[in-house]
Chains A and B, each alone.
Chain A
Amino acid sequence: RKEVEQDPGPFNVPEGATVAFNCTYSNSASQSFFWYRQDCRKEPKLLMSVYSSGNEDGRFTAQLNRASQYISLLIRDSKLSDSATYLCVVGPRDDKIIFGKGTRLHILP
């Protein structure tokens, strides 16, 4: 099992819809979880950290399920500007974090 696994997509979603991604991780000792966003030909940028109780930032909601070892990202009322690749990130392992390969999201007008 890979350390961090994501569905590569692409997810093609109409503008205004709700979309959710999951990410599974293999190391049950993982303590920190993040979602990063990467636009085409740009660097990854932190979207949000994921806390044990779940957390929300505007239209974005992140959840952690330790028992099943997955994290999720929910985007409500999707915008054209949400089109990007979303990277699931898990850590630490030897002071490093592990990046998933990303899920591509296309928001359709």
Chain B
Amino acid sequence: NAGVTQTPKFQVLKTGQSMTLQCAQDMNHNSMYWYRQDPGMGLRLIYYSASEGTTDKGEVPNGYNVSRLNKREFSLRLESAAPSQTSVYFCASSELQGNWNIQYFGAGTRLSVL
């Protein structure tokens, strides 16, 4: 079972370059999320999508855009990368069942912006 798949696994960008991080899930989940994780900061929510066709800002949305292409795919775009966006990015998906929101994560994308 693939679960949540992220591509690429590693990326190095120069300041000002753009790129899109891809995420796909095969669990038929409605909700998908993008987080970044920095040392000492924990997981911070960038954007999330509660269902196909909807997206909402999380805690740290500035400098990012997202697209919920279909139920399976949720992409994160950096239009003009900055060194402050050097981080590990995780995509997650979940199926909200009442109050229970168990999230399943992809393996992460390690991004360095020089």
Give A contacts to B, CB under 8 Å: 8, 31-32, 34, 42-46, 49, 87, 91-92, 95-97, 99-102
B window 44-70: CB within 8 A of A: 45, 48, 50, 58
Residues from chain B with a CB closer than 8 A to the CB of A102 are 42
CB pair B101 A32 closer than 8 Å: yes
How would you classify the secondary structure of chain A's contact residues: helix, strand, loop or mixed? strand
CB pair A100 B42 closer than 8 Å: yes
Residues from chain A with a CB closer than 8 A to the CB of B99 are 31-32, 91-92
Residues from chain A with a CB closer than 8 A to the CB of B103 are 46, 97
Residues from chain A with a CB closer than 8 A to the CB of B105 are 43-45
B43 contacts the other chain (Cβ, under 8 Å)?
Answer: yes
Interface string of B31-43 (1 = CB under 8 A from A): 1010000001111
In the complex, the number of residue pairs spanning A and B with C-beta atoms less than 8 Å apart equals 47
Give B contacts to A, CB under 8 Å: 31, 33, 40-43, 45, 48, 50, 58, 90, 96, 99-108
In the complex, besides A43-B106, A49-B100, 20 extra interface pairs with C-beta distance below 8 angstroms are A31-B99, A32-B100, A32-B101, A42-B107, A43-B105, A44-B90, A44-B105, A46-B102, A49-B102, A91-B99, A91-B101, A92-B99, A95-B31, A96-B33, A96-B45, A96-B58, A97-B101, A100-B42, A101-B41, A102-B42
25 contacts between A and B (CB under 8 A): A31-B99, A32-B100, A42-B107, A42-B108, A43-B90, A43-B106, A43-B107, A44-B43, A44-B90, A44-B105, A45-B105, A46-B102, A46-B103, A49-B100, A49-B102, A91-B99, A91-B101, A92-B99, A92-B101, A95-B96, A96-B48, A97-B103, A99-B42, A101-B41, A102-B42
